């Protein structure tokens, strides 16, 4: 379809639906169908919008952004985050899962983002954009600790329903909330300092 130059977004819906149905019937997490369909959506510019050339993928993102950001993602998060505090018992292996997930999100992800960015710049694989310094990159790294939806998805794949999954979900909620607060506080402090007061 891409080689034939088919530009209509509607034409790509049917193949995406077939992929989703096949993955669902196979017993695999159907969210992966979205990833596969995303890779198959054309990324070469085919449209013009406001003087800017857009690919079908970019056009689809623009169309769906508000629906996804303010509707689908929050619904997905709330539907998958159901944690009964009464059912969480941080004893035995569950407490290690809780602390492992918490530290992985709050410490591991920011360090990983900052370190990989620094390494990419040091090896001259990339360069920082104009006006962007390491303070800004460190703040971006901190926002990476807000791993809500994907972290819940991975937790459901990693653990069966029970104390382990409940501990992981609670840890994700705590880490995401803490990461959001810390990111805002750090951003306010570091950017204010960079601006000279």
pTM to 2 decimals? Answer: 0.58
List the end-to-end C-alpha distance of the chain, in Å, as a whole number.
55
Neighbours of 30 (CB within 10 A): 15
Within 13 Å, how many C-alpha atoms sit on residue 141's CB side? 19
Q: How many CB atoms lie within 10 A of CB 79?
A: 9
- The predicted pLDDT at position 35 comes to 81
Residue 78's pLDDT is: 66
Nearest to 23 by CA among 10, 7, 37, 43: 37
Per-residue pLDDT of the chain (197 residues; tens, 9 = 90+): 777 877 777 788 888 888 888 888 888 777 788 788 777 777 777 666 666 777 777 777 788 888 887 787 777 766 666 655 556 666 677 888 889 989 999 999 999 999 999 999 999 898 888 888 888 888 888 888 887 777 887 888 888 777 888 888 888 888 888 888 888 888 888 777 666 55
- pLDDT for residue 80: 62
Provide the pLDDT for residue 195.
61
Q: Which residues pair with 52 in a beta bridge?
A: 49
Distance CA 104, CA 171 (A): 10
CA-only gyration radius of the chain, Å: 21
Helical ranges in 68-161 per DSSP H = 73-80, 93-103, 109-122, 134-143, 148-158
- Count the Cβ atoms, other than its own, within 10 Å of residue 42: 20
Return the closest-CA partner of residue 11 out of 50, 60, 51: 60
Alpha-carbon torsion (167, 168, 173, 176), positive or negative = positive
């Amino acid at each position: 379809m891409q080689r034939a130059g088919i530009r209509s977004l509607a034409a790509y819906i049917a193949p995406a639906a077939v992929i989703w149905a096949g993955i669902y019937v196979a017993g695999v997490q159907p969210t992966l169908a979205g990833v596969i369909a995303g890779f198959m959506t054309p990324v070469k510019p085919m449209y013009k919008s406001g003087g800017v050339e857009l690919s079908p993928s970019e056009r689809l993102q623009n169309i769906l952004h508000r629906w996804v950001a303010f509707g689908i993602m929050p619904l997905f998060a709330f539907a998958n985050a159901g944690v009964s505090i009464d059912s969480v018992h941080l004893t035995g292996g569950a407490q290690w899962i809780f602390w492992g997930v918490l530290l992985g999100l709050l410490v591991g992800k920011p360090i990983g983002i900052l370190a990989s960015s620094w390494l990419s710049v040091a090896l001259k694989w990339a360069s920082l954009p104009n006006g962007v310094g390491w303070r800004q990159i460190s703040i971006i790294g901190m926002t990476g600790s807000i791993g809500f939806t994907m972290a819940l998805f991975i937790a459901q794949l990693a653990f069966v329903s029970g104390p382990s999954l409940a501990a992981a979900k609670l840890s994700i909620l705590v880490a995401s909330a803490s990461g959001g607060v810390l990111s805002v506080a750090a951003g306010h402090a570091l950017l204010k300092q960079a601006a000279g007061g």
